[in-house]
Structure 1
Amino acid sequence: MATATGTSHELGWRAADFDLEGVDGRRYTLADVRGEKGTLVMFICNHCPYVKGVIGGLVEDCKALAAEGVKTIAIMPNDTDTYQVDNFDRMKEFAQEHRLGFPYVIDRTQGVARSYGAVCTPDIFGFDAGLALRYRGRVQEMRGSTPVAGARRELLEAMRLIARTGKGPEDQVPPIGCSIKWRRS
């Protein structure tokens, strides 16, 4: 398992549009998931132990944020030919098992992941109401792929701050996770 940390795109960068297929049979664009007070674009996958470590709390946090005007979408960017565990049918199972309350979509060409500069799963992009990047950090402190008990919910706090003020936190710890499984050219 290779790990990576997310560091691309400066704060203030504008969210890139997309049109991706969801596990619910619908297609989603950025406009479909844009929140009144903020938008959370997450790159996750089914097999990553870092994603598995945070998914329960992440689902709860996204539900709380939805009630506060912040919408969420999760994008699966991995090469499913090489990593069958991340294929579309398994994505449907993952979404159902974890009761995702937000769209879970597949980036079959990996073009969206590249345009966002995503490097790992989970890789989190928190945007303000005007779709400017204000948070590029982790969900919370981890020890390996296990969340630290009682750790601050950094993503939740950051997105609440963004929803309230339009600004992200001064201090942001880059996300860490499994590297995205890129298709070989």
Structure 2
Amino acid sequence: MSNTLSNMLPLGTKAPFFLLKDTNSNDYFSFDTIKREKGTLIVFICNHCPFVHHVIDEIVMIANDYRVQGIGVAAISSNDILRYPEDSPELMTEFALRNRMDFPYLYDAQQEAARAYNATCTPDFFLFDANDQLVYRGQLDDSRPGNAIPVSGNDLRNAIDAIIYNRAISENQKPSLGCNIKWKLNP
């Protein structure tokens, strides 16, 4: 497990385009097909990361809580499956089923989405407003595997509430911490 901080893509960045296959439905999704009227949450995760395992239940609860309030949600895995076969699309499908992920879990085979979002770790969170502008990037909350702080999702939930209820979002945002994205050796 390599502790890696997120890169903190600049606030105001327009949501980068992607077109990726969903390992749950085998359909292709783009940012435009994921987005909803209030905003969109893109989360970079993978199957094997202990940081993801630590927070996956909260990620699923956030998706379920906010989807009905006009927030689109998708997860993306960008890891190199040749070196990390536990992150293969087939196992992504199993992971999604086991964790009751009722939102797209997209496979970024060419790692282009991860590069476009400047994602560096799993989990890495990117919240866009109704105009597809980045308003939050960073951590879910202060909980980490082994630090005894309960998972609450407070940081991300506060940001989502702010866009739903038209409140200001602080620009003082803490980076996410997780396993590094497993980049291909020869992209």
TM (norm. structure 1) is: 0.94
Paired residue for 2:17?
Answer: 17
CA deviation vs aligned residue, 1:37-93 (integer Å, no higher than 9, x gap): 010011000000000000001101111111111110100010001000000110000
Instruction: Measure how far apart 1:160 and its partner are.
Output: 1.3
Alignment partner, residue 174 of structure 2: 173
Q: Which moved more, 1:56-65 or 1:151-160?
A: 151-160
Write the distance in 2 (CA, Å) between the matches of 1:103 and 1:135.
Answer: 20
Instruction: Note if 1:42 corresponds to 2:43.
Output: yes
Gaps of 5+ in 2: none
Distance 2:153 2:20 in 1: 32
Identity %: 36
Aligned mates of 2:31, 2:21 — CA distance in 1:
12
Amino acid at match of 1:60: M
- Aligned match of 1:95: 96
Q: Choose 169-178 or 95-104, whichever is displaced more.
A: 169-178
Unaligned residue ranges in structure 1 (runs of 5+) = none
Q: 1:126 to 1:184 in 2, by over 3 A?
A: same
1:11 alignment partner AA: L
Q: Distance in 1 between matches of 2:63 and 2:151?
A: 18
Using a 3 Å threshold, how does the CA distance of structure 1 residues 145 and 95 change in structure 2: closer, same or farther? farther
- Report which stretch shifted further, 63-72 or 145-154: 145-154
Coordinate RMSD, CA, aligned: 1.6
Q: Tell me, what secondary structure is at the counterpart of 1:102?
A: coil
Amino acid at match of 2:56: I
- Larger displacement relative to structure 2 (153-162 or 21-30): 153-162
**1:65·1:156 contact (CA, 8 Å) conserved in 2?**
no
Contact kept in structure 2, 1:44 and 1:123, CA below 8 Å: yes
Q: Which residue number in structure 2 is paired with residue 182 of structure 1?
A: 183
CA change 1:167–1:41 in 2 (3 A) is farther
